[in-house]
Amino acid sequence: MTTASIRKATPADLPVLEEIARRNINASYRPILGDKAVDHFIDSGDFDREIETHIKDMDVLVTNGKIAGFAVYFDGLIHLMMIDVNQQGCGFGTRLLRNCEYQLNRFGHKTMRLEISEENEQALNFFQKNGWHIARKDKDPDHNFTRILLEKTAK
């Protein structure tokens, strides 16, 4: 079993976090949104700015001295969670998710929530396997996909 640790993110982590995000967006969202939309999103720098904006709310998962994933959480919301596509299937996602749940619960949030695209079946299956349930589905008219709100109540 590979060991991993979780720590707060720092500004020095940004280049690695942005590279992980690009790899994951390319792997996960091209089949859902198409090349044009994904290229525009990556090239716009919006996601890099999103990571920079939330660095204070972010934890990173480190294994073998390298960042393998990250999560942003605040106000009862897991805003963003990614495990590098090259590190998926090692249990790191479950470890990072449990950390987010623990921290949100520790901050007094008994009901936790997150949003994903309905077309991202891998993510939907992962979160449902970990006890999250569908609270609502909304069609996004601007981006032509269905957004799912998942919730979980702390025990």
What is the model's pLDDT at position 1?
Answer: 52
What is the model's pLDDT at position 89?
Answer: 82
Max CA distance (Å), the chain: 44
Whether residue 84 contacts residue 23, with contact meaning beta carbons closer than 8 Å, is answered with: yes
Whether residue 148 contacts residue 116, with contact meaning beta carbons closer than 8 Å, is answered with: yes
Q: What's the average pLDDT block by block, 10 residues per block, for the chain (155 residues)?
A: 87 94 81 74 79 94 95 95 88 95 94 91 93 94 83 89
Domain that holds residue 35: 5-153
What is the model's pLDDT at position 142?
Answer: 76
| CATH code of the domain in which 39 resides | 3.40.630.30
Amino acid identity, residue 83? I
Does the model's pTM come out above 0.85? yes
What is the model's pLDDT at position 120?
Answer: 84
Q: Which two tokens stand for residue 126?
A: 């992962």
